[in-house]
């Protein structure tokens, strides 16, 4: 049986008090807390076998290398990728998408081409493509967002043309919680031979992933959102596309042979992993994956969805409550405004009640403009949250409303 109160014992930070009140942590979409299993893994790495990977014949180097590659295999299995060659370790979703925008654009895009993004993208799935579009000369088209926070799929299908070369969309909106119809998006794009990128930062922590069943071409996600260390992440890509793309950075590890006349590059995935990697972080990411898989991703999804629905029911009773986005399928987050209370004021006062939420534009300013607002209050749940946390949030929001 899924027991959040028992699970909480694995997360020491949840025992903290802030402003002399018990911490109610509802900022999980920004970053998750780390279980002792991950913290212990990090400490053990540095205490017992810290050594640079792939570069030494001595025992410590061999052990670190083995553990890093075991972590890569854990990631491969977790998302059901065909091969570890297709698992590239990065510093997070942002670096994964920057790598992809740079290398894909250099190899596959030219002036006059088009790519398709959506109106609910995080800045990390907008700005890298804009930078490359300015250099290369391709155009960016944007799938509109409907009033309920869902993508306008009819508009999406109509904007696919013989100039479309890529579709890159978020799986789950970090603001609205909307679960986008990615199966439908991938199918529509693939019918025209167009590859698809999924920003999985907000999806991977909440549901089971099977990249082969999805037939997605690229998937990016962050370790710190799935209970692993900060500064870790993954880019999955289909082998044929990764092999065709040039390297992202130059240096050690990504080379085959270097001379001043010419350089050859290493095989996948190392072609895209220049320099000393955060091998400790990646090994600990493997520990985080072990942890969530032991809990069961389906059980996590069901519990978190029930908690999110409980939160929406409670918040809906508050006078002046306005939800931003009301998609039929949501995951992880609820964003709202109350009356004319500025989000940062609400967040500051909730903080003094011990309740941690996120306020602002959430690195999604085009989406804020779409809804005619400057920002929202965002509460985001994890499997270690409880109904008591939600009750505290609802009571806190209502108390702040009363103050205004």
What is the secondary structure of 77-127 as a DSSP string? HHHT-S-GGGEEEESSHHHHHHHHHHHHHHHH--TT-EEEEETT--GGGTH
Mapping DSSP to helix (H, G, I), strand (E, B) and coil, where does residue 8 land?
helix
CA-based nearest residue to 183, from 192, 193, 201, 196: 196
Q: What pLDDT band is residue 307 in, cutting at 50, 70 and 90? A: very high
Percent of the chain at pLDDT exceeding 90:
99
For residue 55, the model assigns a pLDDT of 81
Q: What is the pLDDT of residue 119?
A: 98
Average pLDDT over residues 8-35: 98
Kindly name the residue from 41, 45, 103, 363 that is annotated as catalytic: 363
Question: What pLDDT was estimated at residue 2?
Answer: 80
pTM of the model: 0.97
Q: What is the pLDDT of residue 384?
A: 98
pLDDT at residue 1 in the model = 65
- pLDDT mean over 313-317: 98
Under 8 Å CB-to-CB from 213, ≥6 apart: which residues? 80
Burial label, 275 (beta-carbon count in 10 A; 0-12, 13-18, 19+): exposed
At 323, give phi and psi (nearest 5°).
-80, 140
Q: Does the annotation mark 45 as catalytic?
A: no
Tens of pLDDT, residues 110-120: 999 999 999 99
Tens of pLDDT, residues 61-109 = 999 999 999 999 999 999 999 999 999 999 999 999 999 999 999 999 9
Q: What pLDDT, on the 0 to 100 scale, is given for residue 305? A: 97
Mean pLDDT for all residues in the chain: 97
| C-alpha triplet 200, 337, 175: angle, nearest 5° | 5
State residue 231's pLDDT score.
Answer: 98
Backbone angles phi, psi at 263, to 5 degrees: -135, 140
Q: Find out whether 258 and 34 touch, Cβ atoms under 8 Å.
A: no
Q: Quote the tokens at residue 62.
A: 């061999």
List residues bridging with 390 in a β-sheet.
none
Instruction: State the DSSP string of 198-265.
Output: EE-TTTTTTS---HHHHT-SEEEEESGGGTS-TT-EEEEE-HHHHHHSPPSS-SSSSEEEE-SS-EEE
**pLDDT tens-place string over residues 209-228:** 999 999 999 999 999 999 99
In this prediction, residues 354-380 reach a mean pLDDT of 98
């Amino acid at each position: 049986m899924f027991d959040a109160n028992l699970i909480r014992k694995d997360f020491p930070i949840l025992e903290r008090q802030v402003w002399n009140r018990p911490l109610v942590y509802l900022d999980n979409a920004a970053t998750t807390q780390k279980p002792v299993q991950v913290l212990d893994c990090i400490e053990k790495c540095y205490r017992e076998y810290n050594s640079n990977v792939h570069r030494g014949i001595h025992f410590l180097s061999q052990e670190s290398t083995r553990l890093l590659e075991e972590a890569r295999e854990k990631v491969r299995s977790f998302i059901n990728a065909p091969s570890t060659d297709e698992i590239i370790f990065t510093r997070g979703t942002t670096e994964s998408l920057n790598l992809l925008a740079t290398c894909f654009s250099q190899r596959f895009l030219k002036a006059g081409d088009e790519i398709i993004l959506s109106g609910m993208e995080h800045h990390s799935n907008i700005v890298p493509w804009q930078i490359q579009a300015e250099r290369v000369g391709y155009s960016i088209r944007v799938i509109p967002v409907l009033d309920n926070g869902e993508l306008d799929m009819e508009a999406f299908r109509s904007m696919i043309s013989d100039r479309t070369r890529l579709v890159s969309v978020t799986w789950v909106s970090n603001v609205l919680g909307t679960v986008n119809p990615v199966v439908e998006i991938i199918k529509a794009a693939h019918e025209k031979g167009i590859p698809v990128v999924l920003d999985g930062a907000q999806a991977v922590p909440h549901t089971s992933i099977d990249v082969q069943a999805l037939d997605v071409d690229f998937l990016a996600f962050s370790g710190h959102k799935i209970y692993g260390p900060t500064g870790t992440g993954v880019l999955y890509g289909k082998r044929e596309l990764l092999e065709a793309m040039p390297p992202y950075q130059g240096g050690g590890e990504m080379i085959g042979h270097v001379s001043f006349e010419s350089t050859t590059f290493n095989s996948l995935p190392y072609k895209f992993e220049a320099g000393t990697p955060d091998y400790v972080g990646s090994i600990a990411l493997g520990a985080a994956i072990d942890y969530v898989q032991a809990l069961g991703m389906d059980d996590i999804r069901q519990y978190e969805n029930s908690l999110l629905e409980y939160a929406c029911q409670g918040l809906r009773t508050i006078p002046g409550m306005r939800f931003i986005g009301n998609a039929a399928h949501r995951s992880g987050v609820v964003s709202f405004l109350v009356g004319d209370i500025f989000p940062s004021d609400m967040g500051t006062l909730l903080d003094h009640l011990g309740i941690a939420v996120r306020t602002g534009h959430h690195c999604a300013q085009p989406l804020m403009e779409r809804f005619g607002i400057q920002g929202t209050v965002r509460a985001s749940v994890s499997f270690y949250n409880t109904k008591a946390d939600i009750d505290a949030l609802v009571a806190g929001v209502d108390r702040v409303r009363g103050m205004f």
